[in-house]
């Protein structure tokens, strides 16, 4: 009997649950606050951080983080990952960068209804956390189509109602794409009325500004004004300066931000660390010509009285705007109707059509490509000095602006694969543009604060265990414009809600991502 009792005691001791599920042992902790690193361990139980520092206790799994950095998971506050998230729910391109939370609905385009979208995300099961904005352009399109006019009072009420419902369903705030149709047809006051709804629920306003080239000063002022008038934080998203003649204007735009902050207004930025952008080739076509949609634009292109004016403005945009002064700076990244165009620039394609690669002839190439089915393109027209200036601003977060790529498809912008390691490798380790703790702050606690995401973005007891463990000596981006489909180096482990998703540099297949509802969720 005595022996039986002893056996039972031993069995009971063996079955006792360990105090921790995971311990990250003896790493260099950069907690996301911007303060100096320190050496310690992190204990995780279920989905929370429960211990930090030097402590004792058993764990189901111990990860030796000696020589590695332990930081909060990166929060990407501007993606277009809905393009591909249902095809690639494991999100390797982002997770291998250390990204644990993705936001979508940017540039004025979003899923609707928000609640139904969140249900689909939850039922699909994805690896990263997920949240979306409600897009002003999407809302306008739903009510008014692509008409270039002011809304009626009734139409504006409809738009207000849609935004109100979206905020209740968990949108982070209102996004706008005032460069894109139909947002470009909206006045400042129209946007303000919708932003007021987001403000009522504690949301933010995030904007792809009306212009990022010659009229960038006016556009920054408009973005700040919308935030002031609607009484909510305003974010200049993927802030950049386009066109050689405008390079250096980041010094002026950042002064405008500082002046607004000093006056007591909440203004923020985000950026990606590249000297090229990516969007539809249609960005070279004036917005007024796009009113009414594709068929109306095609009619205008064929109209002998209208076509010359459209062409003239395309030439201007090639020379002084997104074209960077030369058709060779515009590179086709996706053309589903003719994949042979992918990776070729407008100059090369124009030559293949038997024409000299002038801006005027390249405009004709734009017409031809659009008629065939349009394309997406990479536009090389940004200065690295402006990138550095913006990166150093204390209110600038890091964000990719990238879609969720299906590996190997197309010639996309490399930002979907390399944004965060590029900052940590090139701009921190190699060039010392910002410090490592400051870079981590810009990737973690700063976007969490701006987005009102609670209990994420810091290594702190009681916070969700969204954590990345990486090698600061080797972390780097591999994706290039020529060969973009390459995962980054240096990320060893990624945990999302306490679950190990990247282990020893490989995806475990786990899908613990959660929907992160905005502040108005009911």
pLDDT digits (tens, 9 = 90+) for 196-213: 999 999 999 999 999 999
Strand duo 69-72 + 20-29: pairing: parallel
Q: What integer is the mean pLDDT of 130-159?
A: 98
Q: For Cα atoms 9, 15, 19, give the angle at the middle one, nearest 5 degrees.
A: 115
pLDDT digits (tens, 9 = 90+) for 62-102: 999 999 999 999 999 999 999 999 999 999 999 999 999 99
pLDDT of residue 510: 98
pLDDT digits (tens, 9 = 90+) for 301-331: 999 999 999 999 999 999 999 999 999 999 9
**pLDDT of 15 above 90:** no
Q: Which residue has the tokens 């030097």?
A: 54
Structure tokens at 147: 């008409």
Three-state helix/strand/coil letters over 480-516: CCCCCCCCCECEEEEEECCEEEEECCEECCCCCCCEC
Q: Whole-structure pTM over 0.85, yes or no?
A: yes
Q: What integer is the mean pLDDT of 509-514?
A: 98
Q: What are phi and psi of 93, to 5 degrees?
A: -55, -35
What percentage of the chain reaches a pLDDT higher than 70?
97
**Cα atoms in the 13 Å half-sphere on the side-chain side of 500:** 19
pLDDT band with cut points at 50, 70 and 90 for residue 12 = very low
């Amino acid at each position: 009997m005595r022996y039986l009792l002893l056996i039972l005691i031993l069995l009971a001791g063996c079955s006792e649950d360990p105090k921790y599920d995971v311990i990250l042992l003896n790493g260099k902790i950069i907690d996301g606050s911007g303060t100096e690193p320190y050496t310690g361990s992190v204990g995780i139980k279920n989905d929370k951080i429960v211990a930090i520092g030097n402590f004792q206790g058993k764990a189901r799994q111990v990860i030796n983080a000696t020589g590695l950095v332990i930081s909060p998971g990166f929060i990407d506050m501007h993606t277009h990952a809905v393009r591909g998230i249902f095809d690639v729910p494991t999100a390797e391109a982002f997770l291998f960068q250390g990204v644990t939370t993705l936001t979508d609905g940017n540039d004025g385009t979003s899923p609707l209804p928000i609640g139904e979208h969140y249900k689909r995300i939850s039922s699909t099961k994805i690896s990263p956390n997920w949240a979306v904005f409600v897009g002003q352009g999407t809302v306008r399109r739903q009510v008014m189509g692509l008409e270039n006019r002011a809304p009626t009072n009734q139409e504006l009420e409809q738009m207000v109602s849609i935004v109100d419902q979206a905020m209740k369903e968990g949108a982070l705030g209102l996004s706008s794409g005032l460069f894109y149709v139909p947002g470009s047809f909206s006045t400042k006051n129209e946007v303000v009325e919708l932003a007021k709804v987001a403000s009522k629920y504690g949301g933010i306003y995030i904007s792809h500004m009306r212009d990022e080239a010659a009229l960038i000063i006016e556009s920054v002022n408009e973005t700040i004004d919308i935030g002031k008038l609607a009484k909510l934080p305003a974010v200049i998203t993927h802030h950049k300066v386009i066109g050689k003649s405008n390079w250096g204007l980041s010094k002026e735009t950042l002064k405008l931000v500082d002046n607004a902050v000093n006056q007591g207004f909440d203004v923020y930025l985000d950026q990606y660390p590249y000297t090229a952008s990516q969007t539809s080739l249609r960005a070279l076509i004036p917005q007024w010509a796009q009113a009414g949609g594709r068929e109306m634009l095609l009619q205008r292109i064929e109209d002998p009285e209208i076509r010359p004016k459209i062409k003239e403005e395309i030439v201007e945009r090639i020379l002084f705007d997104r074209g960077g002064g030369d058709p060779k700076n515009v590179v086709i990244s996706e053309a589903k109707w003719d994949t042979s165009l992918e990776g070729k620039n407008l100059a090369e394609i124009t030559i293949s059509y038997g024409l000299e690669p002038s801006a005027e002839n390249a405009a004709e190439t734009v017409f031809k490509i659009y008629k065939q089915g349009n394309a997406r393109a990479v536009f090389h027209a940004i200065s690295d000095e402006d990138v550095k200036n913006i990166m150093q601003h204390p209110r600038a977060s890091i964000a990719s602006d990238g879609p969720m790529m299906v590996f190997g498809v197309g010639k996309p912008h490399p930002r979907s694969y390399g944004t965060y390691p590029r900052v940590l490798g090139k701009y921190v380790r190699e060039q010392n543009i910002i410090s490592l703790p400051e870079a981590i702050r810009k990737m973690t606690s700063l976007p969490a604060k701006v987005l009102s995401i609670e209990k994420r973005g810091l290594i702190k007891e009681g916070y969700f265990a969204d954590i990345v463990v990486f090698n600061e000596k080797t972390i780097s981006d591999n994706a290039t414009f020529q060969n973009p489909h390459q995962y980054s180096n240096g990320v060893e482990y990624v945990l999302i809600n306490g679950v190990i998703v990247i282990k020893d540099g490989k995806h475990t297949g786990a899908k613990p991502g959660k929907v992160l509802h905005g502040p108005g969720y009911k």
